[in-house]
Structure 1
């Protein structure tokens, strides 16, 4: 069996993979929901809890332990272009089949889900998950007209989601216009620049930096009239089966009063 990953790399398998190591949290959760035979995960793969508590951990997404991976004798590693370090994935790809996702939009996520379903011969489950996600987002009613917003992911330095991110697509589908969409990836800013951006909504993510109520007060000194709120980062950035829950969460979030 020959399949291509989202980087266009062709992978050949003599049989369906039976010992999978996942180094991407959102895809680990997807693999669980697909019923895939996963034998190793990262320390950030917190869903599902049953796997987080029981499966061997091979390090962090950007600090993988090659010896731990080797001990698991994987016949497939699931990785991601953005979340994993390129040099580490290249090292692993010389030794094991590595399927790499490249996710920027909801459509990319749907493609990833169905492709993994095909590779793992879990087509029915993958199609069911993909269809339910698509149907959920079809029912989502975005803000109209679009509202200018900023999505913060880090503090010291302050960092936001730029335009070339999956988060940006989620913001767009909610009816938010990312005021930093002209910047790539996750640029650094300061609060003065945030105040000058014209944003009316500031979303503080729960991950990777754990924003809290005290940070709302800090930002409000610069944007006294903005709507500033804490949001569940998994809903905006996990592009696996967590997307089944995202439309319902976004619908509640958009009740801005």
Structure 2
């Protein structure tokens, strides 16, 4: 059987994969929600959902640095990667071992496509369709809620030292726009560094400090308030903004609660 991943790479699989390695936390969660946790033989140290998965599967490293010897020893049928999370070198090495699927998700449509691809590859299309229908239903309800809400000029921080924010062509940016959080740095690509030493952003309405990948805390709001004197600063659940699999079922209700707290 031949499939195409989200980079349009052709993947050849002779039978339904029974030994899976996932190098992406949100995809690990999705696989478990698809009923495939017993097939997961390898995960990353950042695969924290479900909370027991790292006790059941072998930890093969992080998302940028992995132990190739551990991956080889697990004899996987397929390895699941992501264009943003994993490096080209990792993908190239993994391809020497077995089939590799690479996801590339920048919006809701991409997320749904990925879930359906997994449904086909792993022969769980019925469960995949159920999850996508749940996401679409939650998305529809959220759109009805958000349509009349004011747009807020928003900065979304993902890192400190250096200070880094979310820019365009990212999944987080697409979700910010859905929430009517107009990304202040949308003119910049990906994850730009910004200068806080020589500039004050007095026209920003809202600053969101993500819980991941950098674990922002309440004390960081104090550091930033003088640079964003007219903005409200909030710590937000980074998983809700960046995990693009089955987590989306929960995300839209989280966004609704977030918006209601800003009224």
> Structure 2 length as normaliser, TM-score?
0.95
| Count of paired positions | 257
Which residue matches 1:252? 257
Which residue matches 1:129? 131
| Alpha-carbon distance between aligned partners in 1 of 2:174 and 2:103, rounded to the nearest angstrom | 17
Which residue matches 1:73? 75
Which residue matches 1:14? 14
Which residue matches 1:151? 156
Could you list the runs of 4 or more consecutive aligned residues of structure 1 that deviate by over 4 angstroms after TM superposition? none
Which residue matches 2:29? 29
Q: CA RMSD in A?
A: 1.3
Which residue matches 1:238? 243
| Offset at residue 190 of structure 1 (A) | 2.2
Partner SS, residue 151 of structure 1:
strand
Deviations, residues 144-182 of structure 1 (Å, cap 9, x unaligned): 332110100000100001011000011011111101111
Alignment CA distance shift 1:197-1:28 (3 Å): farther
Within-5 A mapping of 1:1-257: 1-36=1-36, 37-140=39-142, 141-142=145-146, 144-191=149-196, 195-196=200-201, 198-255=203-260, 256-257=262-263
Structure 1 spans left out of the alignment, 5+ residues: none
Partner SS, residue 208 of structure 2:
strand
Counterpart contact for 1:42–1:60, Cα < 8 Å = yes
> Structure 1 length as normaliser, TM-score?
0.97
| Offset at residue 94 of structure 1 (A) | 2.6
| Alpha-carbon distance between aligned partners in 2 of 1:28 and 1:5, rounded to the nearest angstrom | 17
